[in-house]
Chains A and B, each alone.
Chain A
Amino acid sequence: MSEIQKAIKIFHGPQHPGITGNMSVELDLIGETIQKAQTHVGYLHRGFEKLIERRTVVQGFTIVCRICVPEPDPNEENYARAVETLAGLEISEKAKYIRTMVLEMARLANLFMWMGGQAGSIGLGLIPQWSVCDRDYMLDLFEELTGARVYHMYAFPGGVRRELPEGFLGRLSDLLDYYEKRIVVYNNTFFDNVVFKTRAIGVGIVNKDEALKNAYVGQTLRACGIKRDVRKDMPYLMYDKLDFDIPIQTEGDVYARALVRRDEMIQSIRILRQIIEQMPSEGDILQKIPKHRKFILPAEDTYVQTETARGAMSYYMAGDGTEKIRRMQVRGPSLIHGFTLLEKLLVDSQLSDVAMTMNSLGICPPEIER
């Protein structure tokens, strides 16, 4: 095996159990140490931004939720808020509360999904089986509320599409009680697992000095001890009226990011409990908006941000005097994490760390290439 001495090229993906979604990392290995890493995307490129130029506002609303598959709701919220900013719509307080609730539910679901991926990336097959099932219970509530498991198309420009079902909030709080019990179990089996600690501590350390300048977002930032969260810095919806805090860690490695995510689960359960208390009983949920052929956006542009479960996601939207959207560009958290940061972190690390690092950065390919 003389070839193993000189660097060999490995295509880690696109079809690989250890890759997050349908992307590929091209690795130059000596032994199992990575000399050079290069990310390749485009396996999921659908040209959403081109399609949206050909759709009216309401038709585009069915497209945006497909932009990031694991958590569609922040995309819908971003789109709806951008359209409202351009068209000058003001949504009612109840609609705001419901949107906040949907966002937090989506955050919880996605964090459970992430936990499965993170545990699976170190071969701990028990946790994915449990956490994906727990996430499914949240999807059941989504189905009851919006009519769909994954793609909800719920946060409509001008409000939300459906009224809350009878006794929905009660069922939600029951589920939250269950989750609080489960998080203790996961804490014992996964976050305190000696093998996970041995592997995750000191791996994929993000440089704190360049983190802000290079536009790292989300847990990657918070695990370095930098307290940034769109929900606090640029409050939207009801977040300035709700009481929650931003968990941070200081090490900046994979394990710190995992702990930050665990604390965020607890925080969003806390937020949901407040929402259940404060949810206004009456109030219209959907503004009267013009027919979708008459829905004209002015020739202006705007820029909105939402905190997803993986970091800040920004939409740039520009209208021209027609019923079509001139331009809508998505800047997801994965764009920079997947290229600038991942290629930097993987150098001089082991092949075994690739899956773990990608999972802890929360890379979601469909929002890189749209």
Chain B
Amino acid sequence: MEDGFHGSALKCKLEESGLVNTHAIMEKAVRWFQSRSIFVVAYGTGCGAIEMPPTFTSRYDAERMGVVGVATPRQADVIILSGYLAYKTLRRVIRTYEQMQRPRYVITLGSCPINGGMYWDSYNTIKKLDDYIPVDVYVNGCMPRPESVIEGFVLLQERIKNGEEAGWQKYDSNLEFYKENQKRVLGGNVDPSYESDWYNLGDGGIS
């Protein structure tokens, strides 16, 4: 995880002396920093979007824990999927998720991404989100209160701190499974087609 810190002379010396395992220490420190600073891109895929503003504004102040909203998926560490996903939305969500930079995490709100929730028989919403993209934290309830959203963030921070295996690692390790599921549901055309000039200029915007 410490790609940012390219090996310094001091580190090498300490390694040789064998007194301390700087690698482990460095990883631990980096994980702590990563858990203390979480950039969120909030994708209002459903009803839960109405509880996003209270979570991030002055009553339940999520910025206390270093949870800050950013505008673009490039800069984000966490994407919040706030509720059920229609197939049309799932395309965009997959695209957004793949534009995010590793390490990346997913938090979903509400019961609908878990098992369809009250839309269990709807022809346009998916039932199991973790067939298509890996989910790190489910915050369930219809809809989850801001307190529980914040609790979900705290849980995610704990998991980052302990260095447990996160969703993006699962996604990389068995990519075929996810891709095949996405193809099955979305009928092959996962990415929305862009007619714009900008996306023909050297793969701009598409990671």
- Chain A residues in the interface with B (C-beta under 8 A): 3, 6, 8-11, 14-17, 21-22, 42-47, 50-51, 54, 62-63, 66, 69-70, 113, 116, 128-130, 132-133, 135-136, 149-151, 366
Q: Does B3 contact A (CB under 8 A)?
A: no
- In the complex, chain A residues whose CB is within 8 Å of the CB of B53: 113, 116, 128, 132
Contact for B43 among A6, A15, A66, A132, CB less than 8 A: A15
Contact for A8 among B58, B84, B92, B196, CB less than 8 A: B196
Apart from A21-B49, A22-B49, what are 9 other A-B pairs with CB-CB below 8 Å?
A8-B198, A9-B197, A22-B43, A46-B84, A50-B122, A51-B121, A133-B54, A151-B47, A151-B143
Q: Which of B179-207 contact A (CB under 8 A)?
A: 194-198, 201
Q: Does B46 contact A (CB under 8 A)?
A: yes
Number of A-B contacts (CB under 8 A): 98
Q: Does B123 contact A (CB under 8 A)?
A: yes
Q: Does B101 contact A (CB under 8 A)?
A: no
Is A54 within 8 A of B142, CB to CB? no
Q: Chain A CB within 10 Å — which of B41, B84, B89 has the most?
A: B89
- In the complex, chain B residues whose CB is within 8 Å of the CB of A66: 47, 118
- In the complex, chain A residues whose CB is within 8 Å of the CB of B51: 149-150
Alpha-carbon gap, A47 to B51, bound state (A): 23
Given contacts A46-B119, A47-B123, A116-B53, contact A149 B197 (CB under 8 A): no
- In the complex, chain A residues whose CB is within 8 Å of the CB of B46: 22, 44
Q: How far is the CB of B12 from chain A (nearest CB, A)?
A: 44
- In the complex, chain A residues whose CB is within 8 Å of the CB of B45: 22, 43-44
Contact for A3 among B122, B124, B198, CB less than 8 A: B198
Contact for B143 among A14, A17, A51, A150, CB less than 8 A: A150
Q: How far is the CB of B201 from chain A (nearest CB, A)?
A: 8
- In the complex, chain A residues whose CB is within 8 Å of the CB of B201: 3
Alpha-carbon gap, A96 to B73, bound state (A): 48
Q: Which of B148-207 contact A (CB under 8 A)?
A: 194-198, 201
Given contacts A45-B88, A46-B84, A47-B124, contact A63 B198 (CB under 8 A): no
Is A47 within 8 A of B122, CB to CB? yes
Q: Does B8 contact A (CB under 8 A)?
A: no
Mask of B36-52 contacts with A, CB within 8 angstroms, 1/0: 00000101111101110
Given contacts A3-B197, A15-B92, contact A69 B124 (CB under 8 A): no
Is A9 within 8 A of B196, CB to CB? yes
Alpha-carbon gap, A113 to B201, bound state (A): 40
Alpha-carbon gap, A47 to B118, bound state (A): 12
- In the complex, chain A residues whose CB is within 8 Å of the CB of B47: 66, 69, 150-151, 366
- In the complex, chain A residues whose CB is within 8 Å of the CB of B50: 69-70, 150
- In the complex, chain B residues whose CB is within 8 Å of the CB of A54: 121
Given contacts A21-B49, A46-B119, contact A129 B57 (CB under 8 A): yes
- In the complex, chain A residues whose CB is within 8 Å of the CB of B122: 46-47, 50-51
Q: Chain B CB within 10 Å — which of A47, A62, A130 has the most?
A: A47
Given contacts A15-B41, A132-B53, contact A45 B92 (CB under 8 A): no
Is B92 within 8 A of A129, CB to CB? no
What residue of chain A has the Cβ atom nearest to residue B89's Cβ? A43
Q: How far is the CB of A125 from chain B (nearest CB, A)?
A: 10
- In the complex, chain A residues whose CB is within 8 Å of the CB of B58: 129-130, 132-133
Q: How far is the CB of A342 from chain B (nearest CB, A)?
A: 18
Is A43 within 8 A of B121, CB to CB? no
